[in-house]
Amino acid sequence: MNTLDNTKIGVVGLGYVGLPLAVAFGKKIDTVGFDVNKKRIEELETYIDNSKELSTRQIKESEKLSFSSNVSELKNCNFFIVAVPTPVDQFKIPNFDPLIGASTLISTILKKGDVVVYESTVYPGATEEICVPILEKGSGLEYNKDFFAGYSPERISPADKNNIQDIVKVTSGSTIEAGKYVDEIYQQIITAGTFLVDDMRVAEACKVIENTQRDINIAFMNEISIVLERMGIETRDVLAAMKTKWNALSFVPGLVGGHCIGVDPYYLIHKAYEFGYNMEVARSARIVNDVMPKFIAERLALRMCERKMKLAGGKVLIMGVSFKENCPDIRNARPFDIAKELKKYGIAVDFFDPVVDKNEVQKIENITLAENPNLEYYDGIVLAVAHKQFIDMGVEKIKAFGKKEQCIFFDVKAIFAKNDSDLRL
Q: Please, are residues 403 and 377 in contact by the beta-carbon 8 Å criterion?
A: yes
Indicate if the pLDDT at residue 14 is higher than 80: yes
Indicate if the pLDDT at residue 226 is higher than 70: yes
Question: Distance (Å, rounded) from C-alpha 288 to C-alpha 301?
Answer: 20
Query: Which stretch of DSSP H or E encloses residue 365?
Result: helix 358-365
Q: Please, are residues 189 and 24 in contact by the beta-carbon 8 Å criterion?
A: yes
- Among residues 61, 204, 183, the alpha carbon closest in space to that of 127 is found at 204
Q: Please, are residues 91 and 129 in contact by the beta-carbon 8 Å criterion?
A: no
pLDDT at 161: 64
Question: Distance (Å, rounded) from C-alpha 48 to C-alpha 59?
Answer: 8
**Residue 119 region, left (φ>0) first, then alpha (ψ -120 to 50), else beta?**
alpha
pLDDT at 191: 95
Angle at which helices 292-306 and 280-290 cross, to 10°: 40
- Give the distance from CA 391 to its chain's centroid: 22
Indicate if the pLDDT at residue 159 is higher than 90: no
Indicate if the pLDDT at residue 122 is higher than 70: yes
- CA atoms within a 13 Å half-sphere pointing along the CA-CB vector of 38: 1
R_g of the chain, CA atoms, integer Å:
23
pLDDT digits (tens, 9 = 90+) for 181-223: 999 999 999 999 999 999 999 999 999 999 999 999 999 999 9
- Among residues 10, 69, 39, 32, the alpha carbon closest in space to that of 49 is found at 39
SS3 content of the chain, % helix, strand, coil (to 5): 40, 15, 45
Active site residue 260: yes
Give the single-character DSSP code of 92: S
pLDDT at 52: 85
Burial of 308 (0-12, 13-18, 19+ CB in 10 A): exposed
pLDDT at 163: 80
Mean pLDDT of the chain: 95
Mean pLDDT computed over 330-357: 96
Question: Distance (Å, rounded) from C-alpha 335 to C-alpha 257?
Answer: 9
- Among residues 344, 354, 341, 364, the alpha carbon closest in space to that of 390 is found at 354
pLDDT band at 103 (very low <50, low <70, confident <90, very high): very high
In this structure, the chain runs to a length of: 425
pLDDT at 162: 61
For each of the domains in the chain, give its residue range(s) and CATH number, in order of start. 4-205 (3.40.50.720), 293-425 (3.40.50.720)
Mean pLDDT computed over 399-424: 95
Task: State percent of the chain over pLDDT 70.
Answer: 99
Phi, psi angle pair for 100, to nearest 5° = -65, -40
pLDDT digits (tens, 9 = 90+) for 251-290: 999 999 988 899 999 999 999 999 999 999 999 999 999 9
- Give the distance from CA 321 to its chain's centroid: 14
pLDDT at 2: 84
Distances (CA, A) of 218 to 45, 248, 346: 39, 14, 30
First to last CA, the chain: 54
Query: Which stretch of DSSP H or E encloses residue 274?
Result: helix 264-274
Indicate if the pLDDT at residue 16 is higher than 70: yes
The DSSP line for 188-223 is TT-TT-EEE-S-HHHHHHHHHHHHHHHHHHHHHHHH
Q: Is the model's pTM score more than 0.75?
A: yes
Which of the following is catalytic: 77, 131, 260, 327? 260
Mean pLDDT computed over 395-410: 97
SS3 338: helix
